[in-house]
Amino acid sequence: MPTGQRRLRPWRRSGLYNNKKPLTPAQQQAALDLRQRLIDQHLGGDASPAQSIVLGLITSAVLRHNSVASWLRDQPGPWVDARGRRAWSILTDLGQMERHVARLIQVLVDPALARRPVEVEDVRQRYGIDG
């Protein structure tokens, strides 16, 4: 049995990483509008199941990016840690998120994810069978 000092205060869950707020109606509408614009412009209509997954990832990433960017706009500049003399890590995270969304859009327009009808070959024509 370990013999050490007891913790002065009991451990309690902080809830910092469990902060899952529901989307506001404006955010939900923005996500639906973005999804529909992407379908109309890049897919030309109906999306395959794989493309639906990528569309969901894109809309959630764009919503997170907009949330972080609006918070950053409200903060006074310069966005530099005075003690360490370096830029806030959220700035690099924001750039990574932008590159992530760009990669997801490239994946979205990838023809491998598109739903294509399979060409059926007529056996009679191929082998010259009459009938």
Is 79 within the bounds of a domain? yes
Is 15 within the bounds of a domain? no
pTM score: 0.66
User: 108 lies in which domain range?
Assistant: 46-114
Report d(CA 42, CA 32) in Å as an integer. Answer: 15
Number of domains present in the structure of the chain: 1
Is 106 within the bounds of a domain? yes
Is 130 within the bounds of a domain? no
- List, for residues 52-74, the tens digit of each pLDDT value: 899 999 998 998 888 888 888 88
Is 53 within the bounds of a domain? yes
Return the bridge partners of 80, or none.
87
Closest to 62 (Cα-Cα) out of 100, 16, 24: 100
| 107 CB-near residues (< 8 Å, 6+ apart) | 54, 113
- List, for residues 85-97, the tens digit of each pLDDT value: 788 888 888 899 9
Is 38 within the bounds of a domain? no
DSSP3 helix / strand / coil % (the chain, rounded to 5): 55, 5, 40
